Structure 1
Amino acid sequence: MVSIKDVAAEAGVSVATVSRVLNSHPSVSPDARARVLAAVETLGYRPNAVARSLRTDQTRTLGLVISDVLNPYFTELARSVEEAARALGYSVIIGNADERPDLQDHHVRTLLDRRIDGLLVSPTDGGSPLMLEAARAGTPMVFVDRWIAGVDVPVVRADGREAVRDLVRHLHGLGHRRLAIIAGPAATTTGSERVEAFREALREHGLPLPEELIGQGDFQAASGRRVTEAFLALPEPPDVVFAADNLMALGALDAIRARGLRVPQDIGLAAFDDIPWFVHTDPPITAIAQPTGELGRAAVRALVDRIEGRPPESVTLPARLVVRRSCGEQSPENSPA
């Protein structure tokens, strides 16, 4: 019986290189890949891995790499992906990048080695080398929530620009004029897009966004706390702090309370990415909600279309403003702005 060692000897490469070729791993040179496949054909080596490399077999498994499993938004997204995939006969393996490109690469490599049929990714910090290589090599892939400009991969995301405009209009109507933002990483599309949407919405009302009212966060709670402490130390603190994700909003709330201040009596707080526990804070937090479950289901459909030979489509769904009482509102919960 022909073994993988025989294939490696015939091709003049290592066993590890043969394994990568048989598992469609992108980090193999075209020359080595050609020699391995020629050796496979010459020796008649036909395990399942080779069958998959010839696109005659599937594992019915999808990979999902999310940016931060501690973020309730991504937890809900992962749940909807798993449910949608199961309904279509696929299993899901999940990797948590923890907002680290190196850890994202680790999960992408592991998932490719597991012979997944396709990959869903919420890119961290503008992407990572192996993920970009896999995308450009033609690995079935869909970006969800975040994306990378210039990479030809379908994108499933929410458009929050109109919801941010609604939020600024709402805050302006409440009499707030000095508005600050805790931004996400500028290297991520969601980080840069939300700041720009906020800036544009302020401009429509003739309001400035000075540099002192833009705090650089990283989509995690500690950065929200740090940035808000800096806002509160200003000679003229903001009327409202808008956190560009829910974990940074939690950090902001911690910083406000640590100062002995009250929301909204002393300072208002709003967030992007509504989550279930926002209704249980005191006061409940006004937030922008993304259609997380719909995004997960749409991402799975797009990826399965790609895997099964149908043309996948990018999908953009609207986010919406949910008005509660953290900015001085007197309106009932969930009323429109």
Structure 2
Amino acid sequence: MPKRDRPTMIDVAADAGVSLKTVSRVINGVATVDAVLVEKVTASIEKLGFRRNVMAANLRSGASDTIGLVTADLANSFYTSLAAAVSAVAVRQGYQVIMASTDEDPAAERALALDLCQRRVSGLILVPSGHDQGYLQHEIRMGTPVVFLDRPAVGATGDAVLIDNRGGAERAVRELVAEGHRRIALLFDSLAIFTMSERLEGVKAALTDAGHEIDPRLLATDLHTPELARSALEALLAAPDPPTAVFCANNRATIGAVEALVAAGSQIPVAGFDDFEASRLLPFRVRLVDYDTPRLGIAAAERLFARIGGDTTDPGVIVQPTHLVDRGGPVR
């Protein structure tokens, strides 16, 4: 077989001992191809280092220049900010973005991601909701670039763009501990979510360094909405031994916590993860873990378009740093 700088489908067909048409059908995910042939073609693709020419495939299929973006919850301003940043980069590249939201449902994540791949998007940016993205590995092998945003993938190979979740939470709680607080209410979404589990590890580290540990009675989880966070904190404030401070693991929990404190007339300090658009209007000072949300989306989009353009370097991880900021009114 003649050597080429970049293996072609003809090379793959020759190496696998199958027809060019069979290679094409395997690459395009045709379900009726015999499993033995799929295994032969896949093995040859990996052996030769073949990468599908996504741009050419789109031109042949008549597909428009699009990328897919699957987020966890478009109702959360964090994800709408990410989507706006990704879209801005895509427009500059002459692409359109097809957006979808999983609402933290792993089954919806799988269905939406695979549907976008079947639509022959040129690339995919995915915020994982489940703990297994192995279903995408075949698509990645066939040449569809995938960048994982905000949370890393499990079972699939691709670039990841993340936040320093653990370090940010640790710094925020360390400040509360330094102020003398020991009974700190902890308001979290589901701990099955990567960002939540990482932020809880940061909380644990800050408390452990001070010789303390998490009181499970002060940890409220699965708070997916501000309303749930408000109810959780109201219950904690009404307990015989209420918390003296609050750490909120995301922006929605912070909103709910502030509502609960205002209603109760409480003066305890609040620290939270994620800034949000209305934070400067809060009625009192709130210490927030902040980062450049648009930069996060831009980094993911730029990485994706580098892959679409032919970058074949090993996948990497980009970690966005965090810092603490004050929002709201004066210190109480």
Moved more, 179-188 or 289-298: 179-188
Q: Is the 8 A contact 2:248 2:273 kept in 1?
A: yes
Tell me the equivalent position of 1:99.
104
Tell me the equivalent position of 1:329.
331
Unaligned runs of 5+ in 2: 1-21, 42-53
The correspondence for 2:179, drawn from 169, 174, 180, is: 174
Distance in 2, Cα, partners of 1:142 & 1:241: 34
SS of the residue aligned with 1:186? coil
Does structure 1 residue 24 correspond to structure 2 residue 25? no
Distance in 1, Cα, partners of 2:63 & 2:196: 36
Distance in 2, Cα, partners of 1:114 & 1:170: 49
Unaligned runs of 5+ in 1: 1-17, 38-48, 331-337
Letter in 2 for 1:215: A
Deviations 1:38-89 (CA, angstroms, capped at 9, x unpaired): xxxxxxxxxxx99628999874311000111111111111100111122222
Distance in 2, Cα, partners of 1:137 & 1:191: 33
Deviations 1:236-259 (CA, angstroms, capped at 9, x unpaired): 1111221111112222333334xx
The correspondence for 1:120, drawn from 121, 125, 128, is: 125
Q: How many residues are treated as equivalent by the alignment?
A: 296
Q: Is the 8 A contact 2:185 2:246 kept in 1?
A: yes
Deviations 1:178-218 (CA, angstroms, capped at 9, x unpaired): 11212232222111100011110111122321111211125
Distance in 2, Cα, partners of 1:282 & 1:219: 23
Letter in 2 for 1:94: M
Does structure 1 residue 140 correspond to structure 2 residue 145? yes
Does structure 1 residue 201 correspond to structure 2 residue 219? no
Tell me the equivalent position of 2:307.
306
Tell me the equivalent position of 1:285.
286
Does structure 1 residue 262 correspond to structure 2 residue 272? no
Distance in 1, Cα, partners of 2:240 & 2:31: 54
Distance in 1, Cα, partners of 2:282 & 2:215: 30
Tell me the equivalent position of 2:167.
162
The correspondence for 1:216, drawn from 213, 221, 240, is: 221
Distance in 1, Cα, partners of 2:138 & 2:251: 31
SS of the residue aligned with 2:247? strand
Moved more, 123-132 or 201-210: 123-132
Tell me the equivalent position of 1:5.
none
Q: How does 1:8-157 map to 2 (within 5 A)?
A: 24-25=28-29, 31=35, 52=57, 59-127=64-132, 130-131=135-136, 134=139, 139-157=144-162
Q: What is the TM-score when the length of structure 1 is the normalising length?
A: 0.76
Distance in 1, Cα, partners of 2:278 & 2:31: 43
Distance in 2, Cα, partners of 1:74 & 1:193: 18
Q: Is the 8 A contact 1:274 1:289 kept in 2?
A: yes
Q: Is the 8 A contact 2:109 2:130 kept in 1?
A: no
SS of the residue aligned with 2:187? strand
SS of the residue aligned with 2:68? strand
Distance in 2, Cα, partners of 1:27 & 1:201: 51
Letter in 2 for 1:288: V
Q: What is the TM-score when the length of structure 2 is the normalising length?
A: 0.77
Q: Is the 8 A contact 2:186 2:246 kept in 1?
A: yes
Moved more, 21-30 or 74-83: 21-30
Query: Deviation of residue 329 (structure 1)?
Result: 3.5
SS of the residue aligned with 1:276? coil
